[in-house]
Structure 1
């Protein structure tokens, strides 16, 4: 069980840390000329990942509407693939930037657009308006070519425990993990599923399970960020995601097969920031009016309704399940678990 838990967490951290590293390599080029301009470009570039990955934190919480018996447990590992629309492979570069303008978004990019982090691996070319100097911005990960689809994976693991009154407590937890010189990461999540039929007269005899569920997950990743040619103090990149989901869940068991579904609402917020002091104009001081202290701070929101349908196969204490969720970024989730009581 410990190995499976570590494997899932390692997968999540590897993807998020790799994405942060990949993005930061060229982000300092965008904020160097003008932090406000750079923030707009960073926002457009990173938005598909921040929104979809954070939304994926709301996946994989359940595979039945029936809570455990008292002290029953399950350890479940899931991977959710969030589908990114083709239109989000690129973003429109604002035309009202103060110091930077787009020269060439790459041969694959539509006019006036540049690749997002999931887009093609072609670096856009920008020009500094005052000097005419050109530089390359960050290219995409080219997910469609690498894996055949625009999917952003969100691995997850949780422990479920049966409590009194037909209630399940579900826990996602990872203490702060030291990533060495690269930074640190931590995660916490808690969910509660409660049987509703016990409170509805006449419903106890109807052969299906009906529960209410609420879940919350918090993920924070801090990453060392030391640009090559900019004087900085305590420079770092920080990624924070908070995801809440409220759902009604229904399921029906047929021998070893359980069909389940859920309707609800997602409330998802995420933030990416470039922290520390940055001497962007090379004058030896850190000036607030030039946004040289914490130059980038971007919020994203991905809230909205969701609908899930799936099935679970249970053989003794082993469970296998899969479901599909319709939401802002549709998600395919598959999972494996060990379930007792």
Structure 2
């Protein structure tokens, strides 16, 4: 199970960057590189925020004082049928130096989720007083590798307090590999309003409100020796989200059903860091930590799920319908 969580964690950050040769775009100058990178990354960061926002609850029935549950949670956020998120229109009139090799002025090109390949662009311009002449292929995305989802995973703990209140925390310790480092943390609170009713224990359902905050931080090293040389070329990213939920669930001994309405809001901040050297007919153009981009996401979602309790062992699964829909699966241990 630890290996599964490791895979989900690394994929949640690095999988969308794997096909990236974004450093080549700096040959077109800072403004063009920033504009393209923002359009290319935006759908992937949106899907990532929706992915990490899920999994905050598997019941509206808050735990009693001292009750706890430890969960291993995985999310699969799909985009197979999201054609509008896989491409964007690149109009050369919006760029200072970027041109298509075939002299087209406008084309649909891949985002980080897309599968359009073989789009070549050319640079033949004076940039910062130096003549730059080169051409390269625009990056494609996940669909070109037959991947139509973004996964995420983490460990979550919940503890019951008094008066129908339950606190939650999720985390993934910082994991480092040769190219990727990633970590996640979050905290939340759940309050069961039915606990205040005189006939609480006789009611067949529970109704709760849940608020959860998640932060994913990661770094991906994509140093290469393509069109743009350099060193320590990397992407540093921070994804954060808030999930505000109204939840209802049954209160049965073994198998239960739950559902919720959720409002999700989040932000991604991505810094392109390192040294980038653009070859010219004269001295190279050198950029250090060239630019940063950010995107905000918000939307409403609804989910429905089920939870099976077998003593201290429980499993749950739910499907969340949103701009990017997510399947969540949890393996839980605890008592109430």
Category of TM-score, reference length = shorter chain: 0.7 to 0.9
* Residues 158 and 330 of structure 1, relative CA distance in 2, 3 Å threshold: same
Tell me how far 1:5 sits from its aligned partner. Answer: 5.0
Q: Spell out, residue by residue over 1:299-327, the C-alpha distance to the aligned partner (whole angstroms, 9 max, x if none).
A: 12221222222111212222222212222
Q: Give TM-score, length-normalised by structure 2.
A: 0.85
Give the unaligned 5+ runs of structure 1: 106-110, 287-291
**Which residue number in structure 2 is paired with residue 221 of structure 1?**
218
Kept after mapping to 2: 8 A contact 1:44/1:92: no
By percentage of residues, which structure has more strand? 2
- Report whether the alignment pairs 1:208 with 2:209: no
* Residues 177 and 66 of structure 1, relative CA distance in 2, 3 Å threshold: same
Q: Secondary structure at the match of 2:320?
A: strand
Kept after mapping to 2: 8 A contact 1:5/1:157: no
- Report whether the alignment pairs 1:190 with 2:191: no
- Distance, in Å, in 2 between the alignment partners of 1:27 and 1:228 is 12
Kept after mapping to 1: 8 A contact 2:8/2:74: no
Tell me how far 1:132 sits from its aligned partner. Answer: 6.5
**Which residue number in structure 1 is paired with residue 25 of structure 2?**
30
Once structures 1 and 2 are overlaid, which stretch shifts more, 225-234 or 52-61? 225-234
Q: Secondary structure at the match of 2:91?
A: coil
- Determine which of 301, 321, 329 is the counterpart of 1:326: 321
Q: Tell me the matched-pair count.
A: 322
* Residues 244 and 9 of structure 1, relative CA distance in 2, 3 Å threshold: farther
- Distance, in Å, in 2 between the alignment partners of 1:246 and 1:307 is 11
* Residues 271 and 74 of structure 1, relative CA distance in 2, 3 Å threshold: same
- Distance, in Å, in 2 between the alignment partners of 1:126 and 1:277 is 23
Q: Give TM-score, length-normalised by structure 1.
A: 0.84
- Determine which of 256, 266, 269 is the counterpart of 1:268: 266
**Which residue number in structure 2 is paired with residue 16 of structure 1?**
13
Tell me how far 1:211 sits from its aligned partner. Answer: 1.3
Tell me how far 1:183 sits from its aligned partner. Answer: 4.8
Q: Secondary structure at the match of 1:38?
A: helix
Give the unaligned 5+ runs of structure 2: 126-131
Q: Secondary structure at the match of 1:93?
A: strand
**Which residue number in structure 2 is paired with residue 237 of structure 1?**
235
**Which residue number in structure 2 is paired with residue 141 of structure 1?**
142
- Determine which of 151, 154, 161 is the counterpart of 2:152: 154
Q: Spell out, residue by residue over 1:16-43, the C-alpha distance to the aligned partner (whole angstroms, 9 max, x if none).
A: 22433432xx111112221211122222
Counterparts in 2 of 1:290-301, with a 5 A limit? 292-301=287-296
Aligned alpha-carbon RMSD (Å): 2.7
Kept after mapping to 2: 8 A contact 1:93/1:102: no
Q: Spell out, residue by residue over 1:72-110, the C-alpha distance to the aligned partner (whole angstroms, 9 max, x if none).
A: 2212223222232122221111332101023469xxxxx
